[in-house]
Homo-oligomer: A and B are copies of this chain.
């Protein structure tokens, strides 16, 4: 009997060409589908649906996928089976059997992203794939003063990368925070919103770092919402600092 599984996964994005399947590329989707189709004893091909894509080099602490599987495997068995099949840069953190109405992409209420910036004059060898390095002076108070402008419902056209297929660019950000992790010499951003456009978080972080460095006025986001022009905001912070931290769903399963 076919059952729907909701699976929460973590991955180190360094060696993946992003989430979405692409010919000749090692992607999160292809690696998971390969494992599932080895576990599957029917002729049916298993496809997975993710809450959304992540780019090459972007990490996930808790990405969510769903798929329909034609064998009656308990949730814990599925978790263990998948973990035994998957490579070490991809881990199943949680697995539940859910109602057919659950959809990893369409049922989302919001997503939380974290962005880690490492400080210091030189790149820390242990962080080169797991943070963005930013050596310039930063006034965190300026960034903190800009964050209320990020929160709310805005047209993020100035913050969307070419290649986006989104029809409209209005999104709502519920929370935007920054904190300094002095012990690790990092600055850490978090954004929680109802959805994010292609590269939106990385473009926003690049603009916020420019505000912190004094290269952009503190309340420049208000102007950027008006001008609706990516050329006003053309930098993109590196993929290595970005983590999909949480996907929140509308109703409990």
Contacts and interface: CB of A to CB of B under 8 A. Distances in A.
B125 A88 contact: yes
A97 to B, nearest CB: 19
Contacts of A123: 88, 91
Interface residues of A, number: 18
Nearest to A92: B122
A21 to B, nearest CB: 19
Contact of A12 (B12, B89, B90, B126): B126
Nearest to A13: B125
A130 B122 contact: no
A128 B123 CA distance: 21
A59 interface: yes
Contacts of A91: 122-125
Interface string A78-97: 00000100001111100000
Contacts of A83: 121-122
A56 to B, nearest CB: 16
A11 interface: yes
A10 interface: yes
A110 B83 CA distance: 41
Interface in A55-79: 59
Contacts of A11: 125
A124 B10 contact: yes
A141 B204 CA distance: 48
A11 B10 CA distance: 25
A130 B10 CA distance: 16
Nearest to A122: B83
Interface string A215-242: 0000000000000000000000000000
In the A-B complex, the 5 residue pairs with the smallest Cβ-Cβ separation, listed nearest first, are: A12-B125, A88-B128, A89-B125, A83-B122, A88-B123
Interface of A: 10-12, 59, 83, 88-92, 121-126, 128, 130
Given A10-B125, A12-B128, A91-B124, 11 more contacts: A12-B126, A59-B126, A83-B122, A88-B123, A88-B128, A89-B125, A89-B128, A90-B125, A91-B122, A91-B125, A92-B122
